[in-house]
Amino acid sequence: MPTNGEDDFLHRFFNDFISLVGNKFASMREAGNGLHGWRRSFDLGVSGAKIGIGGQHNTMLLSLNGHSCAFIASDVWPLLATLLEDHYRAKITRWDGAVDDYEGLHSVDWAVDQYLHNQFNSGGNRPKANVNGNWVESDGSGRTFYVGRRKNGKLIRIYEKGMQLGDPLSPWVRWELELHNKSRIIPWDVL
């Protein structure tokens, strides 16, 4: 999002944004430090959302974590996408999505089996795989299976979330996909 007259732009964007997303985002406090390479950063209400501005070719960052996304009504997302894409000419540079499998039907072991059967291939290329945790003898702290590489812009991590949170018998598995706009355009449909 190009910025001309940084503070004027920031306030105009903030007002447009708040008119869509609501009161949980309704105050803007300067955080006193930059954010991911942007010179100034701001916290938006109690939402957990952040704005970074200044630097990086005169651009702005809007960062919405899972907590802040939960405050945005489902019917608002298409309007927000239109505002960002059409009015501010924004692009999505990173998108993270997660699916929780509370019953463990698609376990870490199942994901490894899918990988071994070439179910993670993209364009004929087998992505790199990596693991974390005790894979030799389960200690109840959980394991993580990674497919892809962040530096290539596409990474999925499958991990034993319930165990990570302290329940050594939990079947809860989380699948997290991290996409970066390296060699791809992340479509607004992800919102």
Would you list the DSSP string of 152-186?
GTEEEEEE-HHHHTT-TT---EEEEEEEE-TTSPP
What pLDDT was estimated at residue 113?
Answer: 97
In whole angstroms, give the CA distance from residue 94 to residue 122: 19
CA 145 to chain centre: 18
Pairing of strands 129-133, 143-149: antiparallel
Using the Cα atoms of residue 111, residue 114, residue 99 and residue 35 in order, give the sign of their dihedral. Answer: positive
Q: Is the pLDDT of residue 4 over 60?
A: no
* pLDDT tens by residue, 147-162: 999 999 999 999 999 9
- Contacts by 165-171 with C-beta closer than 8 Å and gap 24+? 168/139, 168/140, 168/141, 169/140, 171/102, 171/103, 171/104, 171/107
Using the Cα atoms of residue 76, residue 71, residue 106 and residue 121 in order, give the sign of their dihedral. Answer: positive
The pTM (predicted TM-score) of the whole model is 0.81
Mean pLDDT lowest for which of 103-112, 119-128, 168-177?
Answer: 119-128
What the block records as the tokens of 62 is 């809007």
